[in-house]
Amino acid sequence: VKEYYNLLGVALFKQKKYEQAALNFQKAINLDQGSAIDLANLGLCYKFLGEKEKAINLLSEALTLEPGLDFAHKHLTELLNG
């Protein structure tokens, strides 16, 4: 039921409820540790919560698993250059 947590996380993220979204993406990752999209989404939550190092680590891990995640690459580049 990983998809449930992903969808709930996305809905909360769109409402700018980053802490709650992060909890749901973490639950999805707990069910599937190889979920690049959930790692990237969790990284974005941490980016918007101001936790730069956590965000960089998660986005990097997501891109290692799935190099084609363009949004993750964009945000990682912003974090590394900004």
Q: How far apart are CA 64 and CA 51, in angstroms?
A: 20
Q: Where are the beta strands (DSSP E) in the chain?
A: none
For tokens 């993406």, name the residue.
25
Per-residue pLDDT in tens (0 to 9) along the chain, 82 residues: 899 999 999 999 999 999 999 999 999 999 999 999 999 999 999 999 999 999 999 999 999 999 999 999 999 999 999 8
Which one-letter DSSP state was computed for residue 62? H
Res 1: pLDDT = 87
Predicted TM-score of the model (pTM): 0.96
Q: How far apart are CA 82 and CA 67, in angstroms?
A: 21
